[in-house]
Chain A
Amino acid sequence: MEKLVQKIIQLRWVIIISVLVITAFLGYQIKYLTVNSDILSTLPDDDPKAHLYMDIGDEFGGNDMGMIVLETDDIFKKEVLEHIKQITDSIKITNGVASVTSLTNILDIKSSEWGIEIGKLVDEYDLPDKKSKLDSLKKYVFSKEMYKGAVVSEDGTATIILYTLLPDADVQDAAKEIKNKVETMNLTETLYYGGLPFMLNDITDLILKDMLWLIPIVFVIIAFILLFSFRSFRGMLLPLLTAGITVIWTLGLMTIIGYELTIISNIIPVVLLAIGSAYTIHVLNSINLNTLKDRKQALIKAMSYTMIPVILASVTTAIGFISFIFGAYLTMIREFGICTAIGILIALLLSVFFVPAIISALSMYRKDTGKVKEKKHNIMSQFILQPLTKILFNYPKTVLTIWSIILLLSIGGIFLINTSVNIADYFQKDNSTRISEDVLQNKFGGSLPTFVLFEGDIQEPEVLKMMIKTEKFMKEDPNISTANSVANLVEQMNNAMGEGVKIPDEKAKIEQLWFLLDGQDVMQQLVSDDLDKGIIQSKFASIETQEIEEYTQKMDKFIQENTNNNFDVKFTGTPSLYVNLNSSLVKSQYSSLIIAIIMVLLIVGIIMRSVSKGVYATIPIIATILFLLGIMGVIGIPLDIATVLVGSIALGIGIDYSIHVISGFNAHMKENGDVNTAIKKTIMTTGKAVIINVTSVAAGFLVLLLAQIVPLQNFGLLIAISMFGSGLGALTLLPVILILANKKHKITAN
């Protein structure tokens, strides 16, 4: 080990220059890093429901559907209609827009004694202006299921303007342009922007905003803590420098691999700043504590002493992240796991090679050893570490009992954990997207699109009749208020031909009714060009997991009972995806935790060459995870796409503290063979690094409380809690276990 360190010192300039060159190269790559805010695009391809949902979105344009809700005291007023027309007209001529549908241009099929009027609901060139005309329009709109609650809210105070985009259009550009145009109209009504295009736009903005202002804050906070702890410029600079370079390398590599920033991966810099600085902290701490006069020799000694624990710590942390590769449902979580694991390994390489190289190259050895050390000795040792040692040795059983009680309570709390998969919940309450979603929810029966896909000859009476039957069945559910398909249009046309609101029994009649429907904008959203696929579009009002689950089960059963060889029916929609996402959150939580625990146990055991020490090291961290999950249950932080990551990350980072304590204990045991002295020494030396480390990592993650996306806030809070938990576990629970275990069987060094 010492030879390696000597080699590093010898090649210090080579190392430093290579690091700088690589940093410059990868830093330049970051320029090309793009943001992908589309959560749907990270759905797994192997989930049939997700696949079907994406296919339907592509074929019928649903994924790119944007909506504007206009709210006022009464929609049926001349000036309000004028404004709706104004918005409609301006969206219509926006680049990339395929169609726009609103109260002022929606197609209306009226039948009368003399014939059919396939016209507009409202004459856009001659908007109704008199009270009588407006009243009759209102009466007509509320008499038709197609409009009531779908185009105009049931209370008549809000209306939806819906648009779809061309296949090759840039979803976000179009959304941005539309929002700008509408906003410059300065309309008196309240406007809300909803649907995926606006949501994506919003998320992208949030991701970039978070990136741009959270990173500097984390930087400053960690710098402050380091300065306060080490009381030296070097102590502040080196951890931050390595962490900063780690972030640049990781983002650069991400760009080269072709990954994009998502609402999860945008926290990679924060995670790496917090964790990446830790290894250097331990390296520096070890150098500081070495009292050899020859500072070069001191560096070599210190490095060889910390090398193993630092490698161990980073590998176990990386494992925590790698465990997402196996358990995650969303590809963006998988990518996050891979990238962060890579980042951790980069941080390891830098702290092992780059830090000693730069210390020796710039002669940044500690100059004063006496005074400052004395001072620190006073604050941290006197008020925290010494009293701690006393308590541990005098009342080991009490400490163990307290931990046991906390853990029992936590296990109870775990049963209270909820899951949250509704994307709207991910925004803060005052966020405009969240507000829009709430309005859509309240006024228009929700915004969770559900689809039933029919495959077969869509012009067959049998298929159309089944569509109508399915719609009726769907509407029996209190959460479904509207359902639309081409079958409704055929029924209306049939009625217009004087044969009643029903699907004709002869295919020939359907084909001829089609003559008038053909080429209408709405047809593209309902039927495929080849007439071999048709969909029922509907919306689900509830976001309660249980209601969603009941509905999906009911639909699957209905479809199974009602299909035959002539056509195929499939059912999907955001609710179905939420159910899958939900169960996958719970599943991946357990699987990634179990994978991580087993791998950590193995690695620690192998490197320490002792099964019992491997078990000892994992005890505090398992306790921490139980505590963490208990807290989530008790204070009501749900399991979501971000908080599902916490368990494994906490395990990966938290295990470091135990590793440092165990390996410190091992080293001191080698020195004098007495367990109690070794424990005391470990707490006095390693304990300090652990406390600095806990504080800086926790502070780094607490900055996420300022993030715009709710899961990230929860994520930051939970990681901070688990850092305190695992730090405390490593410095109380672990020593107590060692003390008590030693009383039974003498522990030996290895």
Chain B
Amino acid sequence: MKSVIYSTIIFALICAVSISAHAQDANAILKKMDDVMYAPKDLTGTNKIVLIDKNGKQETRKAYIKQKGTDKRIMRFTSPASQEGIAVLGLPNDIMYLYLPAFGKERRISASVKNQNFAGTDFSYDDMEPKPYSEKYTPKFLKTEGNMYLLELTPKGRSDYSKIIAYINKTNYYPELMEYFDKGNNKIKEAKYIFKKVGNYWNASEINMTNLKKNHTTKMQMENVKYDNGLSDDEFTVRKLKQ
């Protein structure tokens, strides 16, 4: 009898310890994921965006991307011809500028539309934002599944999502899958990631975002990625946007 009580207590202790370990783990895992995703000082590359509708019809756009840190980014479209030269500049504090070459003018865009889709893709402005997940979400450890940690991410601030379930690679800490849930707890979107090692960094060479309601997919592929090019802040100005 005694041994039963002891073993129960010990078991309970182990559980308690492991739970608190998980609580710590969740934060640590998410932090590690952010470190992997946002490690480079800067990057340049070509972004190929393929939109696939429910009938399988595809439409391709290309843009050249420059990014510095987690809050400066310039995206300049190179194709299709009708969108050539359109550029978007993202700056700290949700400041965003749009340049339309046909008008030869730039306009600041308010960021109160973060849940809107970005230019016909399945990514919302929110999804596109290169802000660390640990700043935007509170993680909770769910379980380990194969070679992945499952975290439940609850938004800290405004969001259309009630939660995101992130599947994070155990060895390299990059996300393999993210599932997005609306406030009615329905899974509405999912993003599948393919990471490849480029130099010292893991690079999300392909992200497949599917809107499960509309059965519409956006494939974002990164090509010609170069890291740590020593980009200066001057690259990310309205003046540069217009060039």
Binding site for B on A (CB under 8 A): 89-90, 92-95, 98, 107, 110, 114-120, 123, 125, 166, 496-499, 506, 508-509, 511-516, 518-520, 529
Contacts and interface: CB of A to CB of B under 8 A. Distances in A.
Contacts of A515: 83, 86, 98, 100, 119
Interface in B100-132: 100-103, 105, 107-110, 112-113, 116-121
B107 A98 contact: no
B82 A114 contact: no
A93 B183 CA distance: 7
Given A94-B184, A98-B214, A506-B102, A516 B110 contact: no
B186 interface: yes
A164 to B, nearest CB: 12
Contacts of A516: 98, 109, 119
Given A116-B107, A123-B112, A519-B119, A511 B184 contact: no
B101 A512 contact: yes
B213 A98 contact: yes
Nearest to A169: B213
A513 B100 contact: yes
Contacts, number: 91
A106 to B, nearest CB: 12
A89 B186 CA distance: 13
Interface string B146-158: 0000000000001
Contacts of A123: 112
A90 B103 CA distance: 41
B228 interface: no
Interface of B: 53, 57, 82-83, 86, 97-98, 100-103, 105, 107-110, 112-113, 116-121, 158, 182-186, 213-214
Contacts of A125: 158
Given A512-B101, A516-B109, 14 more contacts: A89-B183, A92-B182, A93-B183, A116-B107, A116-B109, A116-B110, A117-B110, A120-B112, A497-B100, A497-B105, A499-B103, A508-B102, A515-B86, A519-B118
A174 to B, nearest CB: 13
Contacts of A506: 102
Nearest to A105: B115
B83 A512 contact: yes
B117 A508 contact: no
B98 A529 contact: no
28 contacts: A89-B183, A92-B183, A93-B185, A107-B113, A115-B109, A116-B108, A116-B109, A116-B110, A119-B112, A120-B112, A496-B107, A497-B100, A498-B103, A498-B105, A499-B103, A511-B102, A512-B83, A512-B101, A512-B102, A512-B103, A514-B82, A518-B119, A519-B117, A519-B119, A519-B120, A520-B117, A529-B53, A529-B57
Contacts of A513: 100
A634 to B, nearest CB: 56
The CB with the most chain B CB atoms within 10 A, among A116, A117, A497, A512, is that of: A512
A94 B109 CA distance: 31
A119 B158 contact: no
Given A95-B186, A98-B213, A511-B83, A117 B112 contact: yes
Contact of B102 (A94, A117, A119, A509): A509
Contacts of B97: 115
